[in-house]
Amino acid sequence: MIAGLAMLLAVLLALGLLTGAAGFGVPDATILWQLRLPRTALAALVGAGLGLSGAVLQGALRNPLADPGLLGIGGCASLGAVAAFYWGISAAFAPALPLAGLAGAALGSAALLAMAGRAPAGPSLILAGVALSALAAALLAMALALAPNPFALAEITFWLMGGLADRSLLHLALAAPPIALGCALLLRLGGRLDALALGEEVAASLGAPAGRTLLLAAVGVALVVGAGTAVAGGIGFVGLVVPHLLRPALGERPGAILAPSLLAGAALLLAADLLARSLPLLLPLSAEPPLGVLTALLGAPFLVRIARRMAA
């Protein structure tokens, strides 16, 4: 399964480097290095982080509907990035955008853990996350309503839809270290998540207390989702959908789907981004559909299917 996913990922990476606005084929060096490589690598990195985050959060909260967006960390990263747009910092200093996104995610995670109390149990953490999401969404709406000029409004709105067009090597350099660090942390949580499957008391008696597991998961997800949102905008459903795609084939043990979720998340977002890039070549579209819109369009019907299967 891992080997199959890795092969799929390799094929998609190659396709990602060969497909673009200039059509299909080996591009010249400038396009390859300045456009296709950052875009393809970012799609793989962000998707890997989102897929792994979804698998870890579902395991840590013992809830098949958990998703990085649920805890408000993505919303806070968006808010940080939008603040950089709002005050025009991102226009003056390009790295300000991803840095502000990371800062937003870090602040959001700190607020989340503070709101959930010292020993964050599952339900209180989810409630605090929902509250944080609502707060971030309200502040985002306020930023839109009070936007200094129509251009800022358009820029913010478009960025919120999520996408990887026109990202540079600088974006890649800024996002890669936190995502890699976060993934390394999250991949080590397999045993702790397995222990939690039988409840918090059993986990504690096995020497893996739930509070510490949730703290480690929150730190890892903040790094991965903060950096991912900062460079790619709001991309939903990948973290939610990927673990559900894998469970029928790999079983439901939480630790068994971590590494596969990382690979499958990367493959899924690469495929979605390839679709976004090739749609203008195939259909009479004036521009690419936003990546976040595409993942939501593909993810929403899938979520309905999961809900119906769970009810059965």
Tell me: does residue 201 bind other proteins (CB under 8 A): yes
Find the binder of other proteins among 11, 22, 142, 202 (CB under 8 A).
202
Q: Please list every residue from 58 through 87 that binds other proteins, using CB under 8 A.
A: 62
The Cα 229–Cα 210 span in angstroms is: 27
Q: How far is the CB of 202 from other proteins (least distance, A)?
A: 6
Q: Is 94 left (phi over 0), alpha (psi -120 to 50) or beta?
A: alpha
The Cα 76–Cα 174 span in angstroms is: 18
Crossing angle of helices 37-61 and 122-145, rounded to 10°: 140
Tell me which stretch binds other proteins (CB under 8 A): 125-133, 158-166, 173-181, 203-211: 203-211
Tell me: does residue 118 bind other proteins (CB under 8 A): no
Tell me: does residue 195 bind other proteins (CB under 8 A): yes
Tell me: does residue 153 bind other proteins (CB under 8 A): no
Question: For the CA atoms of 238, 239, 240, 244, what is the dihedral angle to 10 degrees?
Answer: 90
* Nearest C-alpha neighbor of 102 from the set 196, 174, 28: 174
Q: How far is the CB of 195 from other proteins (least distance, A)?
A: 5
Find the binder of other proteins among 55, 140, 143, 208 (CB under 8 A).
208
Find the binder of other proteins among 93, 170, 253, 310 (CB under 8 A).
253
Q: How far is the CB of 225 from other proteins (least distance, A)?
A: 23
Find the binder of other proteins among 199, 285, 297, 300 (CB under 8 A).
199
Find the binder of other proteins among 25, 150, 207, 284 (CB under 8 A).
207
User: Alpha carbon of 199 to those of 116, 121, 191: distances in Å?
Assistant: 18, 11, 14
Site size for other proteins (CB under 8 A): 19
Q: Count the helix, strand and coil residues of the chain and give each as a percent rounded to the nearest 5.
A: 80, 0, 20
Tokens 């985002």 -> residue: 140
The Cα 58–Cα 78 span in angstroms is: 22
Find the binder of other proteins among 88, 117, 177, 251 (CB under 8 A).
251
The Cα 253–Cα 247 span in angstroms is: 8
Catalog residues that contact other proteins under the rule CB under 8 A: 62, 191, 194-199, 201-202, 204-208, 251-254
